[in-house]
Amino acid sequence: MNLFTSDEQQQIIQAIRSAELETSGEIRVHLELHCPTPDVIERAVQVFRQLSMDRTAQRNGVLFYLATEDHKFAVLGDEGIDKVVPNDFWETTKDIMRENFRAGRFTQGFCLGIERAGQQLRQYFPRLDNDSNELSDEISH
């Protein structure tokens, strides 16, 4: 899966780390070639659980999922953050990402989506004194 160069992967990981600096929230990016289910949201939920994102203390994980060959992606927030963000937040985040993806700017699309998620996480889930990074920042496959 060579959608991202090593430098581009590092840019995405750095965007995750920057977004998580001021929040207790957790952000993950997961890439696979094909979405094995007809519904991309169904697959994103499966990946969310496989990555133990549903086990964070405040239920404030956000998953960015992309099936590269199928051109399908999803942005999924756990129940804690889903309750507090504006109703159209995930859709408007996907719109910004989709615009960049269509122009071939995948790294920028991910970084902008991650930055937006980080802003919401900071607002509703500020970093706690005893906060620890509960999940890896690396891109999973």
Is the residue at 48 inside a domain? yes
CATH number at residue 40: 3.10.310.50
Mean pLDDT of 83-102: 93
Decide if pLDDT at 77 tops 70.
yes
Mean pLDDT of 53-65: 91
Confidence of residue 24 (pLDDT cuts 50, 70, 90): confident
Q: What is the mean pLDDT of the chain?
A: 90
Number of domains in the chain: 1
Decide if pLDDT at 6 tops 70.
yes
Decide if pLDDT at 129 tops 70.
no
Is the residue at 41 inside a domain? yes
Is the residue at 39 inside a domain? yes
Which domain covers residue 97, as residue numbers? 6-123
Is the residue at 141 inside a domain? no
43 within 8 A of 67, measured Cβ to Cβ: yes
Is the residue at 113 inside a domain? yes
